[in-house]
């Protein structure tokens, strides 16, 4: 179906008026439509990859290579330039935008299993290379975050779930430390890569606008002031949610109790007394 | 009859047995994930998604009769792997058994290696048919007798008991793989084995669990540059220094461990140049090799990619000596198969005892027998409909398009959820084990 260069049969015999040229144009546009839909499908598959229990590296690599192939061809055709022009830093040359550099995310730790990052994730958007169209991009930002974070782990994710709740309730539950958390994020990301920082700002800027300007909430602020958010970088948040489906909202509260990971939270005595407040917040978010 | 396995098409295959639940409601844990005969063919092991290993044993009682039908019955069942949780990465480690490999038998006990994504275990399967009775200090139920009541001395004697088969884990080889283990292969030296994940291959000694040597590492310094992964690996059946590994780009590398400690530099690279007329966006995906197997004689190797089976001569690197189409009618459906992820299915393949016929699975519970010597092939089906004892399997035909003849099935009617990924061939006889989703079919050569 996607054999490059093969002309498909033009079955409608009535419209052979301008014969070759019309046929050629139709074939070309249908080919690029198919190519585009294949690209969209691949990007969605990559996005779903890292939400699974165990992302299959072989499958991810094969899909990423397919995306890269399509992009190279589209770049060659000139159609890629049109697609990305809208969001792109005009100064970048097409070759810099190729998926090659961004599709496969960097590992969290030295030998951590690489989570194949959605090319439409923060990383992808930041690089502004692989976004096929804006719709896909914005869908991922809101849906991914809200769906994943509600059942996800604490720290960064917890903070973001607070924001999702805010979005819905317009309460002053925003966590201002998220702002600082994100700034830390940006710094960390920039250190790790050499790409332009202002595009990062654009994406994070978009995110913040979505969720309103965070106002202070003293209890939560105190609660999270000790949290070392740099540990929960985007990789963890977006890709580490394998246990997500299995944890209910109240499991999260249970996990704030002694046995769980983040020692910073547990060691703060104040947090225990704030568990009731968290309880209340979770109820609002979950809407139970 | 019980020869080394004649031509695939001289042989008529009949149904022998089917194992597993009859109903269509498949429990996820029961999905068979690997099938393997041992070196004598007497034992047949299966692993499933729930981490269990079931071993069947061929009954030998009727062998002397001219019309013997050796049946496989359950010999041992045990839980090999349990689900684990990696706290550092917040990841569940599946208990699914990816591969089972038998060790050659050295004494009365049998040994096998089973692996999930991260951990390999060596299991000892031994029989116990006697037990000691008449302990001096213990009652029959095991309680210790009051010392004051013991006035005589007696030595316990062994008395026969019902056969008990015990499986015990003898070694656990853990924490050596960051990525998912896809292959294990026992070396012909019977002392070492290799385990391969997506990016690395490790060499182990069967006795040593706290150390393994990394012999292949294709992880790029910058993970963003990753474009190729290891898909399968196997030791040469006779040369203990030689092994091969296949990649997602359709290449096979043969490595010699004598050359250097780290075998990143291959000794031979087997790759067939791409056919430009068949080029599409899916070319790379369908060229990804899902299985590689050496022939028993060690002169050839077979690779399975999505649409074909290729036989390579180890002395010729630039192209395979034989290529067989498994289900070429799927080539026009690649986009749909990409959409439903079927294009990523990993089919295995196997040789018969004398390397004259190869077998591999397909969809709709079809499997293919490819006769190398007679250059013929046949498609058979593992289905509940042909489950009468000694019922001969009828060849199936798929109609690619156009007019469908009687008895043919059209491509669009194929059930892509019914896939045969795992098959095994008895090392000496014409007995095959074919795994559908949760059933194990055993077929045998028709005996007249």
Q: How does DSSP classify residue B145? A: P
Q: What confidence score (pLDDT) does residue A55 get?
A: 76
Burial (CB count within 10 angstroms: exposed 0-12, middle 13-18, buried 19+), residue A180 = middle
Residue B94 in contact with partner chain A when CB distance is under 8 A: yes
Of B178, B198, B222, the CB nearest to A58: B198
Q: What confidence score (pLDDT) does residue B260 get?
A: 86
Q: What is the pLDDT along chain A (288 residues), one digit of tens a residue?
A: 544 555 555 444 444 456 677 777 777 788 888 899 999 999 999 887 665 566 789 999 999 999 999 999 988 877 766 566 544 444 444 444 444 334 344 333 333 333 333 333 333 333 333 333 333 333 333 333 333 333 333 333 333 333 333 344 443 434 333 334 344 433 433 433 343 333 333 333 333 333 334 444 555 555 555 545 544 444 444 444 433 344 434 333 343 444 434 444 334 445 555 667 777 777 776 665
Tell me the shortest Cα–Cα distance from B223 to chain A, in angstroms.
Answer: 6
Q: Is residue B115 one of the residues assigned to a domain?
A: yes
Per-residue CA distances from B41 to A59, B370, B399 (Å): 34, 21, 36
User: Chain B residue closest to A102 (CA)?
Assistant: B224
Contact A58 B288 (CB under 8 A): yes
In chain B, residues with a C-beta closer than 8 Å to the C-beta of A65 are 227, 284
User: Chain B residue closest to A4 (CA)?
Assistant: B280
Let me know: does A50 contact A123? Beta carbons within 8 Å: no
**Which CATH number covers residue B388?**
2.130.10.10
Residue B228 in contact with partner chain A when CB distance is under 8 A: yes
B312 strand-pairing partners: B301
Q: Which two tokens stand for residue B25?
A: 């409601």
CB atoms within 10 A of CB A141: 18
Contact A3 B222 (CB under 8 A): no
Burial (CB count within 10 angstroms: exposed 0-12, middle 13-18, buried 19+), residue B230 = buried
Q: What is the pTM of this model?
A: 0.70
Q: Where are the domains of chain A?
A: 20-105
Q: What confidence score (pLDDT) does residue B400 get?
A: 82
Per-residue pLDDT at B332 exceeds 50: yes
- The candidate with the shortest Cα–Cα distance to B380, out of B9, B2, B3, B7, is B9
Total domains, chain B: 1
Max distance between CA atoms of chain B, in angstroms, equals: 92
Q: Is residue B7 one of the residues assigned to a domain?
A: no
Range of the domain at B215: 13-445
Of A1, A65, A112, the CB nearest to B334: A1
Let me know: does B307 contact B330? Beta carbons within 8 Å: yes
pLDDT band at B111 (very low <50, low <70, confident <90, very high): very high
pLDDT digits (tens, 9 = 90+) for B270-312: 999 988 888 899 999 999 999 999 999 999 999 999 999 999 9
In chain A, residues with a C-beta closer than 8 Å to the C-beta of B222 are 106
Of B198, B224, B284, the CB nearest to A57: B198
Residues of A with CB under 8 A from a CB of B: 1-4, 34-35, 38, 41, 45, 53-54, 56-59, 61-62, 64-66, 69-70, 100-109, 111-114, 153, 236, 240-243, 261
- Segment B347-362 shows an average pLDDT of 97
**CA–CA separation, B34 and B51 (whole Å):** 11
Q: Is residue B410 one of the residues assigned to a domain?
A: yes
In chain B, residues with a C-beta closer than 8 Å to the C-beta of A106 are 222-224
**CA–CA separation, B236 and A203 (whole Å):** 53
- Segment B39-60 shows an average pLDDT of 95
Q: What confidence score (pLDDT) does residue B446 get?
A: 86
Residue B178 in contact with partner chain A when CB distance is under 8 A: yes
Q: What confidence score (pLDDT) does residue A119 get?
A: 38
Per-residue pLDDT at B386 exceeds 80: yes
Q: Which two tokens stand for residue A191?
A: 């250190």
Distance of CA A16 to the CA centre of its chain: 46
Contact A242 B338 (CB under 8 A): no
Q: Is residue B256 one of the residues assigned to a domain?
A: yes
Let me know: does A44 contact B338? Beta carbons within 8 Å: no
**How confident is the prediction for chain B on average, in pLDDT?**
92
Q: Is residue B43 one of the residues assigned to a domain?
A: yes
In chain B, residues with a C-beta closer than 8 Å to the C-beta of A54 are 91-94, 117, 180
* Residue of A3 and B338 predicted with greater confidence: B338
Contact A106 B224 (CB under 8 A): yes
**CA–CA separation, B393 and B385 (whole Å):** 10
Let me know: does B387 contact B18? Beta carbons within 8 Å: yes
Q: What confidence score (pLDDT) does residue A261 get?
A: 40
Q: How does DSSP classify residue B322? A: E
Mutation target for A interface from B90, B281, B336, B347: give the one with most A CBs within 10 A.
B281
Per-residue CA distances from A81 to A42, A77, A117, A119 (Å): 19, 9, 23, 17
Q: What confidence score (pLDDT) does residue A125 get?
A: 33
Q: What confidence score (pLDDT) does residue A168 get?
A: 42
In chain B, residues with a C-beta closer than 8 Å to the C-beta of A70 are 281
Tell me the shortest Cα–Cα distance from A69 to chain B, in angstroms.
Answer: 7
CB pairs under 8 A between A and B: 106
Q: Is residue B6 one of the residues assigned to a domain?
A: no
């Amino acid at each position: 179906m996607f054999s490059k260069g093969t002309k498909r049969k033009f079955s409608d015999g009535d419209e052979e008026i301008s014969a070759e040229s019309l046929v050629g144009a139709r074939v070309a546009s249908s080919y690029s439509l198919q190519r585009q839909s294949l690209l969209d499908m691949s990007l969605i598959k990559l996005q779903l990859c890292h939400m699974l229990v165990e992302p299959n590296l072989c499958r991810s690599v094969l899909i990423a290579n397919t995306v890269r192939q399509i992009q190279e061809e589209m770049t060659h055709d000139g159609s890629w330039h049109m697609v990305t022009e809208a969001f792109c830093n005009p100064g970048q040359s097409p070759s810099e935008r190729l998926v090659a550099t961004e599709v496969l995310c960097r590992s969290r730790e030295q030998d951590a299993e690489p989570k194949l990052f959605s090319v439409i994730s923060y990383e992808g958007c930041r690089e502004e290379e692989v976004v096929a169209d804006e719709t896909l991009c914005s869908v991922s930002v809101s849906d991914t975050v809200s769906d994943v974070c509600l059942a996800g782990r604490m720290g960064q994710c917890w903070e973001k779930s607070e924001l999702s709740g805010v979005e819905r309730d317009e309460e002053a539950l925003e966590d201002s430390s998220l702002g600082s958390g994100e700034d830390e994020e940006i710094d960390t990301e920039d250190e790790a890569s050499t790409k332009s920082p202002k595009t990062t700002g654009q994406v994070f800027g978009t995110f913040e606008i979505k969720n309103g300007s965070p106002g202070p909430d003293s209890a939560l602020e105190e609660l999270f002031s000790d949290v070392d958010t740099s540990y929960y970088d985007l990789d963890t948040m977006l890709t580490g949610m394998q246990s997500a489906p299995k944890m209910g909202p109240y499991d999260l509260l249970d996990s704030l109790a002694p046995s769980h990971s983040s020692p910073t939270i547990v060691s703060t005595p104040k947090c225990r007394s704030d568990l009731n407040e968290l309880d209340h917040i979770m109820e609002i978010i979950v809407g139970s | 009859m019980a020869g080394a396995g004649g031509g695939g098409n001289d042989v008529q295959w009949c149904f022998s047995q089917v194992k597993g639940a009859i109903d269509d409601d498949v429990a996820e844990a029961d999905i068979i994930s690997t099938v393997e005969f041992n070196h004598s063919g007497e034992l047949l092991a299966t692993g499933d998604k729930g981490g269990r290993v079931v071993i069947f044993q061929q009954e030998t009682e009727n062998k002397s009769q001219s019309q013997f039908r050796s049946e496989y019955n359950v010999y041992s069942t045990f839980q090999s792997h349990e689900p684990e949780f990696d706290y550092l990465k917040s990841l569940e480690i599946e208990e699914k058994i990816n591969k089972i490999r038998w060790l050659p038998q050295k004494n009365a006990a049998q040994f096998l290696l089973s692996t999930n994504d991260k951990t390999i275990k060596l299991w000892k399967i031994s029989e116990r048919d006697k037990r000691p009775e008449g302990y001096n200090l213990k009652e029959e139920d095991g309680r210790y007798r009051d010392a004051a009541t013991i006035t005589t001395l007696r030595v316990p004697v062994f008395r026969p008991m019902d056969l008990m088969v015990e499986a015990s884990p003898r070694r656990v080889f853990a924490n050596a793989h960051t990525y998912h283990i896809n292959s294990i292969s026992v070396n012909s030296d019977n002392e070492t084995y290799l385990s391969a994940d997506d990016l690395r291959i490790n060499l182990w000694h069967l006795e040593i669990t706290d150390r393994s040597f990394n012999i292949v590492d294709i992880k790029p310094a910058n993970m963003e540059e990753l474009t190729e992964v290891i898909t399968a690996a196997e030791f040469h059946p006779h040369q203990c220094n030689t092994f091969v590994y296949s990649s997602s780009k359709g290449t096979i590398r043969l490595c010699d461990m004598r050359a250097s400690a780290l075998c990143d530099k291959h000794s031979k690279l087997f790759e067939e140049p791409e056919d430009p007329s068949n080029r599409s966006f899916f070319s790379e995906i369908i060229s990804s090799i899902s299985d590689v197997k050496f022939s028993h004689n060690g002169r050839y190797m077979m690779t399975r990619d999505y649409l074909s089976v290729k036989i390579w001569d180890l002395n010729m690197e630039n192209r395979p000596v034989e290529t067989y189409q498994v289900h070429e009618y799927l080539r026009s459906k690649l986009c749909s198969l990409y959409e439903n992820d079927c294009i990523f299915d990993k089919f295995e393949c196997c040789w018969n005892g004398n390397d004259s016929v190869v077998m591999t699975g397909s969809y709709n519970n079809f499997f293919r027998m490819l006769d190398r010597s007679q250059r013929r092939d046949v498609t058979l089906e593992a289905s509940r409909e042909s489950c009468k004892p000694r019922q001969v399997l009828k060849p199936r035909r798929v109609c690619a398009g156009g007019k469908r003849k009687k008895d043919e099935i059209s491509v669009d009617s194929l059930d892509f959820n019914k896939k045969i990924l795992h098959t095994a061939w008895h090392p000496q006889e014409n007995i095959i084990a074919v795994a559908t989703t949760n059933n194990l079919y055993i077929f045998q050569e028709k005996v007249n």
